[in-house]
Amino acid sequence: MKDIMGMMKAAGEMKGKMEAMQAELANLIVEGKSGGGMVTVSLNGKGELRGVKIDPSMFKEDDVEILEDLIVAAHADAKAKVESETQNRMAEVTADLPIPPGMKLPF
């Protein structure tokens, strides 16, 4: 019976830590860059787009395709950073739990 009570207490603590981590991630702003910093995309910790900065020199009629590709690349860079940060913070929250290797949370 002690084990069940201990598990319930640990689950409650983890829930609180998860909620705090989610609030932190919602306020986190991550920037992804491409083209040597010519294009910068900002995402919050939930992966929502918050801003795009484009160097004015990119506004040339014949560079439209390049600019479009740089925006996509900057977004991918920012998204990868958000996912990495989320995984790092999740690992901190679940460090004390006996979770099998390779299992990802949230499910």
Read off the pLDDT band of 8 (50, 70, 90): confident
| 8 membership: H or E segment, kind and range | helix 2-27
- Residues 31-67 pLDDT 10s: 999 999 999 999 998 888 999 999 988 888 787 888 8
Q: Are 89 and 21 in contact (CB under 8 A)?
A: yes
CB atoms within 10 A of CB 63: 12
Percent helix, strand, coil in the chain, to 5, is 60, 15, 20
- Residue 104's pLDDT is 59
**Superfamily of domain 2-93 in the CATH hierarchy:** Nucleoid-associated protein YbaB-like domain (3.30.1310.10)
Q: How far apart are CA 47 and CA 75, in angstroms?
A: 10
